[in-house]
Structure 1
Amino acid sequence: MSFFKIASVAAIALTLGACQSLFQPNYRTPLETTRDASETLKPGCSNPDCPLVNIDTVHFPADPQLDGIVEKNLLQLTRTPDAPAAPTLAAYRDQFLRTAEPHSSSYLQAKVREQHDGLVIVEFSSYLDTGNAQGIPGRSFINYSRQQNKVLTLSDMLLPGQEEAFWKAAQVAHNSWLISTKLDQEPEFLKTWHFQKTQNVALTYGGVILKYEVSTIAPYALGHIELKIPYPRLNGILKPELFPGRN
């Protein structure tokens, strides 16, 4: 093959590579977001005890599928044992205000906790106040993979057969939390509150975060406990491509 033919082939290869780079999404660039916040009182009510619904959510103009996932997960926090979740946030708001008693309020929030390496970590919060001494708070996460266009489950995150090892690493994180808070020196606490698994797992840049509902591994007054597993402890457990900076 002549020099000119080799040069021509090389030029075509470079051009094709440039075109592919041009049209592939840059996963290091965060998705654009917009905030959508509103507070609605019960129609016709004008006194200080009016029921209200406060919704503070996030939209992704470039990814309508993620928009729908966010709304669905936010609605899951409104479910009760005797009724399914409403089909939309607007329907939930109307339903709540139609039946709510005075002093009742519902707060829902979805916010982007982090974006890195093609992952969008969204944290969901809820608080239902029915006028009692303690309201009902809720939390959850999703880890949305832009490359795979789906929410990652724990099974998606772990190498095959490594779930038990993951929860052992979580127990080490729990022990570290007990020591840092000095709760390991409280016999009554240790007797009552024990390590548990949680569905709320977030692949943040600084470590894998486990978040717990109130009154699961600690009293209500301590709120939503977060445990952190450093990535080095998950070598051979977490899929390599999910370590920050490797994808």
Structure 2
Amino acid sequence: MNEYFAEFIGTFLLILLGNGVVANVVLKDTKGNNSGWIVITFGWGMAVFIAVFIVGQFSGAHINPAVTFGLALSGLFEWSKVIQYIIAQMAGAMLGAYTIYLFYLDHFKRTQDGELKKACFCTTPAISNRFNNLFSEIIGTFVLVFAVLYMSKPLLEIDGIESARVGLGALDALPVGLLVFGIGLSLGGTTGYAINPARDLGPRLVYSFLPIRKNAKTDWNYGIIPVFGPLIGAAIATAIFLYIK
């Protein structure tokens, strides 16, 4: 499988299953309605596990621009591929979000609360405080990228640059899923832990042109936080990783 297509498929699966569990919990008349935060965080952890397990051997399963950015800063990924990876991740995230809309269409129609419908696409802070919200995304992504840097396995060397690939089998992918599960349980309560610019921006873009958006604003003023927060967190994680390496 081509590595860019792998990132597209991996991020598509991440959003399909991750936003899918949110829709199953919050939308009206689903089998999982009101099953709670533990179900959402576990579902996201499993979404990461499945995506990494499937595409890790082909692309390294970054499925997150912050991870791609962090690995490139650390020297474990080629800068020449960063833009292509991010484009593939964004496209996969957007397709995953639109698929969830089609999949749960009847339930979107029955749900009156616009904020619940919006939650199936992008994150919203529990308490709106831009500084604290940014801090939450920075710290959550710091934990993610710092751990991923230690999990990454440099398998290939291209033009003198080692290429990190995360996850080659079930036992390699499971720690990444558990990592995201743990971040969600411990650090996800403030902003919904985007910790991934594509995970929030791609679905937010899709939400912005769907007919259900009239029930709750897209809120682009907040939308920059789950983009820049994770990138800052990734940069800090990489700097500390390189310092103590």
Normalising by structure 1, we get a TM-score of 0.28
- Higher relative contact order structure (alpha carbons within 8 Å, sequence separation ≥ 6): 2
Structure having the larger proportion of residues in strand: 1
Give the structure with higher Rg (CA): 1
